[in-house]
Amino acid sequence: MLDQMLSYFIYLYGLLYQAIVPCTVPELLSVSAVDHQQYLGKWYFKAAVSHREADIQQFTAVDNVLFTMEETSNDTLLLTGHMRVGDNCLKKTWTYHIHPERDDLELEGRSKRRNLLWNGKWANCSECIIFQEIEPPLNETGTEDSLNRFMLYARHSDIDPEVVKSFLKNSACHNMLASLRLPHEKEFCT
C-alpha cells in the first residue's frame, strides 16, 4: 500500500514539475531553407545523447573530433571528420544531399536515415549546432527507432562548459539520459 501511494506521489510530482518547469524544445532548422554557407567550415564534436547507451556507444573510445563541412555542389555537402582515438588519428568522410522537398539531409548510402539540424540555442550556444540521426525500426513490426541520437557541435574547441551542461540538462528533460562528453584531452588530428 505504501509503495503504491509513493508511486502515485512521484507520478503526480512529475506532472506538477513538468507543468511548472516544462522542457525546452529545440528549434528544427529546415535544411532546404537555411543558408548553407553559414554552416561550412570547422566544427568540434562536444557531446552526444540518446535514450539508449547503444546509440552513443561508438563514441566512448574517441577523445576528440574535428569536422570540416564543405559544399561540393549546390545540393551536396561533404563532411570530413578527423578523429582522435587513443594515439591514432582516423579520417572519415560523409556525403550529404540536400533535397528541396525535405527538411533533412540525405546521407549517401543510408537513404532511410534522417539527419536533422537543430538550432544551438537549445544548448544556450549561438555558435553551436545540434545534429540528430534517426533510423527506422529494423523490421516492420518494430515500434522503436533503431537509432536516435543528438550530437552537439561547436564552432570553437574551447566553449564554455556550461554549454555542454545545458545541452545535457535539456536532453535529460526529454528522457535522453544516455550521454557522453568527449574528453578533449589530446591534440586534435588534422
138, pLDDT greater than 90? no
13 is a domain residue = no
Return phi, psi of residue 68, to 5°.
-125, 125
68 is a domain residue = yes
pLDDT tens digits for range 54-77: 999 999 999 999 999 999 987 899
CB neighbour class for 11 (10 Å; exposed up to 12, middle 13-18, buried from 19): exposed
155 is a domain residue = yes
146 is a domain residue = yes
73 is a domain residue = yes
pLDDT tens digits for range 71-116: 998 789 999 999 999 999 999 999 999 998 888 999 999 989 999 9
5 is a domain residue = no
Band (141; pLDDT cuts 50, 70, 90): confident
Q: Residue 105 in 3-state DSSP?
A: strand
Band (33; pLDDT cuts 50, 70, 90): confident
Range of the domain at 53: 28-181
- Alpha-carbon distance of 99 to 147, in angstroms, equals 22
13, pLDDT greater than 90? no
Q: Which residues are CB-contacts of 11 (< 8 A; sequence separation ≥ 6)?
A: none
Band (134; pLDDT cuts 50, 70, 90): very high
- CATH number of the domain residue 129 falls in: 2.40.128.20
46, pLDDT greater than 50? yes
Taking alpha carbons only, the member of 63, 46, 23 closest to residue 183 is 63
Predicted local distance difference test score (pLDDT) of residue 137: 80
18, pLDDT greater than 60? no
15 is a domain residue = no
Mean pLDDT of the chain: 88
Band (11; pLDDT cuts 50, 70, 90): low
Terminal CA-to-CA distance of the chain, rounded, Å?
61
Predicted local distance difference test score (pLDDT) of residue 74: 78
Question: Which of 14-23, 26-35, 96-105 ranks highest by mean pLDDT?
Answer: 96-105
96 is a domain residue = yes
Q: How many domains does the chain have?
A: 1
